[in-house]
Structure 1
Amino acid sequence: MQWPSTARPMYSRLALAILGTFVLLFLWACEAQGMLQENPAAPADGPTIKAGQMSAISADVPQTQPKPSASFWDIVRASGIIGLTIFLLSVAGLALVIEHAITIRRSSLLPPEFIAEIEGAVRSGQIGRVGELARSQNNSLARVLTAGLAEVDLGWNSVEKAMEEALAEESARLYRKVEYLSVIGNVAPMLGLLGTVVGMIMAFRRVAETQGAARAADLAEGIYLALVTTVEGLLVAIPALAAFAVFRNRVDGLMAEVGLCADRLLGPLKRQMLSPGVVPPRVSTPTPRGSRTS
């Protein structure tokens, strides 16, 4: 998925404006907190507490334990439904990467055993055997060969055109598969930006509720949500877009190899069909369902 060129500056300016707003809000909160610390409230008139009494009182007060560091699930829960959605996108992206790594590779699209069988059948002149082997396999090379051999009776130009169309269809099919990684890579940062906006709204609502007297601790929840969702979106988008680029280039390379391999395997058939006075070989085709032979 490619954003229009006119939309990219708009999203960049929006992200910078939101980030700048959060920086100003955070600096304002820190300044307000510093002013409170510099001007502590004056002690009220009353009885003074001696040093011995103070030590006794402090001994009776329970010591607060430091809070444990937040775990991964704590961070996901703190980011709300937006963070959960980004997490689900990361799971889907990981599943797609594993599936593409298994299916989009040379051994799956160009099986060496299948190529060896086709080469042996072509060398022995068993063109009908080549068609049977191609129809019995479920890979890109087999489908390209099947499409080409179906047009043998019409001449080599028809064979070559059929293989080119089948190769283009295989390329489009694989491109559609890897396109989902691009979708995830573009949607995840948009969800992170949405979480940033929601966190900003929460922070400003807190400021409004306290009539401008909000402390940094009061604004921490909104700022935390904004920053966490932004980081989550980027952590999902960067690997997804990188994987999309890798698999897209792999599809380009493998489809080029499929086309070259199909031309090489049918090279003897091409020379035979282009020789003057030579009758093109017959390739057996599967009988359509419901037809009867007399």
Structure 2
Amino acid sequence: MAEGVKMKTKNIVLMIISLFMCVGLFAQPATETAAPAAPAKQGYSLTQVFIDSGNWAYAILLVFVIGLVYAFVRWYQLYPKEKIDAAGFYLKLRNYIRNDQLDEATKIAESYKGTTMGFIFWSALMVFKDARKSGQTGADLRNSVQNSLEEAVLQTVYKLDSGLFWFDTLAQVATYLGLLGTIWGLLEAFAGLAGLTGAAQQTALTDGIKKAIGTTALGLLAAIPLTLIKGWLLTRANNIISNIDEFSVKLINTINNAIKD
């Protein structure tokens, strides 16, 4: 599917280039007859690009703003809310478990219950403590702790990287809006060539090409940051998941070693 999208995008770009070449050919006679003096070199700001792109610029901006708001939400979920020293957290619990101080270990895990790892470890320790009080020992107790930890993992871990695909979707929508605005600008340029003459024809041609190029630029300017944000947040989510996988195994081994057959 990804290759198909790339091929479609490549075909669209080739079509746009061909249309620009056609516009250049149609505009050549008018240029030769008018032969205006070369204008002074002027700068072209992003604000001017936005203005020249018309309503397409607002549509692309809306998509970009939605992506930024969602990026802030996911940043908060993956950074401040998941802030935890995984290795230090596990070492504290390991020492208390080895010394058979389950109440203290459970309290420490509960203080981190707002994080994914803290909730998983707290769930496993609560089951370990309650099952041992109820008289379970050996393999039954190990199975109870293992099942509780796996259940907690299934309940929480998928939330870490879920929804990040929306950044890809928003980036694609911004790009496609830019391409659609490009086609629309070229259509306006052709309409100016066909229905107007003289200075009005040149103005319509210039405005259409400005809109065509501007919308493509704005679409890419919105899509590139959204794609980078997705990669950044996905890396953070994968790091958290890796820590959970690693230290969950270590916690289970520590608990199993503390269980007497």
CA separation in 2, counterparts of 1:119 and 1:171? 22
- Equivalent position amino acid for 1:86 in 2: I
Give the aligned CA root-mean-square deviation in angstroms.
Answer: 3.4
- Change in CA separation of 1:16 and 1:157 when aligned onto 2, cut-off 3 Å: farther
How many residues are aligned here?
Answer: 247
**Structure with greater proportional helix content:** 2
Which one has a bigger Cα radius of gyration?
Answer: 1
Judge which range, 261-270 or 200-209, deviates more: 261-270
- Change in CA separation of 1:105 and 1:225 when aligned onto 2, cut-off 3 Å: same
Equivalent in the alignment of 1:24: 22
Equivalent in the alignment of 2:188: 202
Equivalent in the alignment of 2:136: none
Equivalent in the alignment of 1:131: 106
- Equivalent position amino acid for 2:142 in 1: W
1:217 deviates by 3.4
- Change in CA separation of 1:68 and 1:37 when aligned onto 2, cut-off 3 Å: closer
1:11-160 aligned within 5 A? 11-29=9-27, 31-37=28-34, 71-105=45-79, 108-111=82-85, 114-115=89-90, 117-136=92-111, 137-149=113-125, 151-152=127-128, 153=131, 154-160=140-146
On the 8 A contact 1:109/1:141 being kept in 2, the answer is no
SS at structure 2 position matched to 1:155: helix
CA separation in 1, counterparts of 2:216 and 2:232? 25
- Change in CA separation of 1:107 and 1:4 when aligned onto 2, cut-off 3 Å: closer
On the 8 A contact 2:94/2:254 being kept in 1, the answer is no
Q: Unpaired segments of 5 or more residues in structure 1?
A: 41-65, 277-294
- 1:234 correspondence with 2:220: yes
CA separation in 2, counterparts of 1:218 and 1:32? 16
CA separation in 2, counterparts of 1:149 and 1:69? 65
Q: TM-score, normalised by structure 2?
A: 0.77
Q: Unpaired segments of 5 or more residues in structure 2?
A: 132-139
1:155-176 deviation digits (Å, cap 9, x = unpaired): 3234334433433443321212
1:214 deviates by 7.0
On the 8 A contact 1:171/1:251 being kept in 2, the answer is no
1:224 deviates by 0.7
- 1:243 correspondence with 2:229: yes
- Change in CA separation of 1:142 and 1:122 when aligned onto 2, cut-off 3 Å: same
Divergent runs of 4+, >6 A: 211-214
1:164-179 aligned within 5 A? 164-179=150-165
CA separation in 2, counterparts of 1:114 and 1:106? 16
SS at structure 2 position matched to 1:110: coil
Judge which range, 143-152 or 93-102, deviates more: 93-102
1:86-113 deviation digits (Å, cap 9, x = unpaired): 2233333334445544542498343467
Equivalent in the alignment of 2:134: none
- Change in CA separation of 1:106 and 1:72 when aligned onto 2, cut-off 3 Å: closer
CA separation in 2, counterparts of 1:75 and 1:21? 20
- Equivalent position amino acid for 1:139 in 2: T
Judge which range, 139-148 or 154-163, deviates more: 154-163
On the 8 A contact 2:184/2:212 being kept in 1, the answer is yes
1:69 deviates by 5.2
Share of identical aligned residues, percent?
23
On the 8 A contact 2:168/2:226 being kept in 1, the answer is yes
